[in-house]
Amino acid sequence: MVHQEPDNRIPTPDCSEGESNLSAKRRDWNDAGLGKRTRALIDRDAACFLHQSVSTPCMSAVRKAEGIWLEDMDGRRYMDFHGNSVHHIGYGHPRLKQAITRQMDELPFAPRRFTCEAAVALAEKLGQISPGNLSKVLFTTGGSDAIETALKIARVATGRFKTLSFWDSFHGAGFGASSVGGEQLFRMGPIGPLLPGAEHVPPFDAYRNPFGIEHSRDNPHDEEVGDIVASLIRFALKKEGDIAAVIAEPNRAVPYIPPKGFWKQVRAACDDAGALLIFDEIPTGLGKTGRMFACDHDEVVPDILVMGKALGGGIVPIAATICRPELDVCGDFALGHYTHEKNPVTCRAALTTIEIIEDEKLVENAAEVGAWALERMHDMMDRHNAIGDVRGRGYLLGIDLVKSRVTKEAASDLAEQVFYRCLENGLSFKISMGSVLTLYPSLVTTKADMEKALGIIDAAIAGAT
Ligand SMILES: Cc1ncc(COP(=O)(O)O)c(C=O)c1O
């Protein structure tokens, strides 16, 4: 008789068909919303790429990205109010393309252990625009790696390994970044175990806070929620006694807007506990919230700040970790030593991107039009009972759809309906946390574009309710 070992493995979900991403509405969209060429490329994509949650099958296929616009394989155009937060300066900015071309002609690559003018100039520039005295820099190819560089610095500087971060946060897909992240999707399943010592607290989301504190438009209690979360952080830092760092998005991109004074309390708690404060500004940095960095709103300077995404101007991948000079303590260890650490082309792209943001006053545009958009969203809330909350800072905006304003139950079905209606009418964005229409427009988005986009959303909600 053949002896069979008992199978104790956790069953692996069969995602080979990408079924986890196919709701009925998504199937309808695939069948009716897309043209033949677009569908054909999506099918080829699904045949040759490894399937994974969220991105298989793809929602569409693009052949052109220009300014705030995406164009699919059949010529359908969408205002892109998502753009993975890379398109601050708009897709394919001519000045950026020219700078990249010139750099490729001049010096296309610098092997690691060689430096180059573009890398040094970018590091110097980041030191000038970053808050406080953050000035020592390391570059990586992606945000997740830059987060892990920050975690390594915190470990070496404090001699501790534990971290404290927020449930529902996202910091990237690497093992280290997923460990400090708090989104279930990136933490569950058979991919673990993750890093030890990664502890979490609830986020500073006032609208759906788990503390039973009432929060409504007429009766906001954001600061009470902020006080509770800040005291939970202080409590955990004290009880553990050996946490290396608190790591967080200062303004979660859902968006959750930090209550007034919240970050000052957390900064003080970190200082008292000897823990570092790391801000992940990968989506929010470089102007998204109407200030160069989201933490500028809160007048709090972290020990380490991480940026990425838009840093590459929506063309090349580059991310950066920047810290105060006293944290330059890893000279005897390998922090990154990534292949593209001093790539002159990605560094030139980043430098030019920052210059474009400054010269075209894009941060100011996000602040001004973003504030106007938020007012307009409040008007929409007056007219649609399905809107439970609207919130935002600059060009990070959210419309939270609910089944009832009393229970605040997420109206996920409605959100999906609204989403596909908007796509049909030429507007793309993202749904977060099941029911939040999350708008991250490019910083070049004008008031007229914004008005048009909000009009599309307004009509979609009216049509779906
Ligand atoms: C807040 C935040 N941190 C980190 C990352 C990871 O960046 P990347 O995808 O470049 O690794 C992301 C990406 O979406 C992000 O939104």
pLDDT average, residue stretch 19-47? 87
How many CA atoms are closer than 13 Å to the CA of 272, on its beta-carbon side? 15
What's the gap in Å between 54 CA and the centre of ligand 1? 15
Q: Does the structure show a pLDDT above 80 at 309?
A: yes
Sheet holding 136-140, edge to edge: 136-140, 319-323, 304-307, 276-280, 243-248, 162-166, 198-201
pLDDT for the residue numbered 9 = 42
Rounded Cα gap, residues 65 and 78, in angstroms: 10
Q: Are 278 and 301 in contact (CB under 8 A)?
A: no
Q: pLDDT by residue (tens digit) across 48-80?
A: 999 988 888 899 999 999 999 999 999 999 999
Residue 387 tokens read as 């809107």
70 DSSP β-pair partners: 65, 78
By alpha-carbon position, which residue is closest to atom 16 of ligand 1?
A: 283
What's the gap in Å between 45 CA and the centre of ligand 1? 23
Closest ligand 1 atom, residue 309 Cα = 10
Closest ligand 1 atom, residue 84 Cα = 14
pLDDT for the residue numbered 246 = 98
What's the gap in Å between 308 CA and the centre of ligand 1? 8
Residue 447 tokens read as 């008031």
| Pocket lining for ligand 1, CB < 6 angstroms | 142-144, 147, 170-172, 249, 253, 280, 282-283, 308, 319
Within 8 A by CB and 6+ apart from 116, the residues are: 107, 110, 342, 344, 347
Confidence of residue 203 (pLDDT cuts 50, 70, 90): very high
Helices (H), 29-181: 36-48, 94-106, 117-129, 143-158, 175-180
By alpha-carbon position, which residue is closest to atom 8 of ligand 1?
A: 143
Closest ligand 1 atom, residue 281 Cα = 1
pLDDT for the residue numbered 29 = 86
3-state secondary structure 359-400: HCCHHHHHHHHHHHHHHHHHHHHHHCCCEEEEEEECCEEEEE
Using only the alpha carbons of the chain, give its radius of gyration: 22
Closest ligand 1 atom, residue 284 Cα = 1
Percent of the chain that is helix, strand, coil (3-state, to 5): 40, 15, 40
Q: Does the structure show a pLDDT above 90 at 416?
A: yes
What's the gap in Å between 160 CA and the centre of ligand 1? 24
State the CATH class of domain 362-464: alpha beta
Q: Are 417 and 464 in contact (CB under 8 A)?
A: yes
pLDDT for the residue numbered 61 = 97
What's the gap in Å between 317 CA and the centre of ligand 1? 12
By alpha-carbon position, which residue is closest to atom 7 of ligand 1?
A: 143
Q: Which CATH number describes the domain made up of 94-359?
A: 3.40.640.10
pLDDT for the residue numbered 306 = 98
Specify the amino acid at residue 331.
G
Confidence of residue 15 (pLDDT cuts 50, 70, 90): very low
What's the gap in Å between 281 CA and the centre of ligand 1? 9
Q: How many residues does the chain have?
A: 465
Task: Give CA separation, 179 vs 28, 141, 174, 408, in Å.
Answer: 36, 20, 8, 29
Confidence of residue 211 (pLDDT cuts 50, 70, 90): very high
Confidence of residue 25 (pLDDT cuts 50, 70, 90): confident
Confidence of residue 20 (pLDDT cuts 50, 70, 90): low
Q: Is 330 exposed, middle or buried (0-12, 13-18, 19+ CB in 10 A)?
A: middle
Which residue has 């989301």 as its token pair? 205
What's the gap in Å between 123 CA and the centre of ligand 1? 20
Share of the chain above pLDDT 70, in %: 95
What's the gap in Å between 320 CA and the centre of ligand 1? 12
pLDDT average, residue stretch 75-102? 98
Sign of CA dihedral 371, 389, 249, 260: positive
By alpha-carbon position, which residue is closest to atom 2 of ligand 1?
A: 171
What is the DSSP secondary-structure string of 170-239?
A: ---SSHHHHHH---HHHH-GGG----TTEEEE----STT-TT-----SSS--HHHHHHHHHHHHHHHHHH
Rounded Cα gap, residues 15 and 43, in angstroms: 16
Q: pLDDT by residue (tens digit) across 150-202?
A: 999 999 999 999 999 999 999 999 999 999 999 888 888 788 899 999 999 99
What's the gap in Å between 371 CA and the centre of ligand 1? 25
Backbone angles phi, psi at 401, to 5 degrees: -95, 135
The bridge status of strand 396-401 relative to strand 436-439 is: antiparallel
Rounded Cα gap, residues 333 and 156, in angstroms: 9
Q: Does the structure show a pLDDT above 50 at 6?
A: no
pLDDT average, residue stretch 437-461? 98
What's the gap in Å between 306 CA and the centre of ligand 1? 10
By most ligand atoms within 8 Å of CB, the mutation choice from 82, 148, 171 for ligand 1 is 171
Sign of CA dihedral 125, 130, 134, 140: negative
Q: If we measure between CA atoms, which residue out of 149, 161, 205, 159 comes closest to residue 182?
A: 205
What's the gap in Å between 27 CA and the centre of ligand 1? 28
Mean pLDDT for all residues in the chain: 93
Rounded Cα gap, residues 210 and 34, in angstroms: 40
By alpha-carbon position, which residue is closest to atom 14 of ligand 1?
A: 172
Closest ligand 1 atom, residue 174 Cα = 11
Rounded Cα gap, residues 34 and 191, in angstroms: 34
The conformational region for residue 299 under phi > 0 = left, psi -120 to 50 = alpha, else beta, is left
Share of the chain above pLDDT 90, in %: 86
Closest ligand 1 atom, residue 252 Cα = 1
Provide the residue ranges of all domains of the chain, joining segments of one domain with +.
Answer: 94-359, 362-464
Q: Does the structure show a pLDDT above 90 at 138?
A: yes
By alpha-carbon position, which residue is closest to atom 4 of ligand 1?
A: 171
pLDDT average, residue stretch 29-54? 92
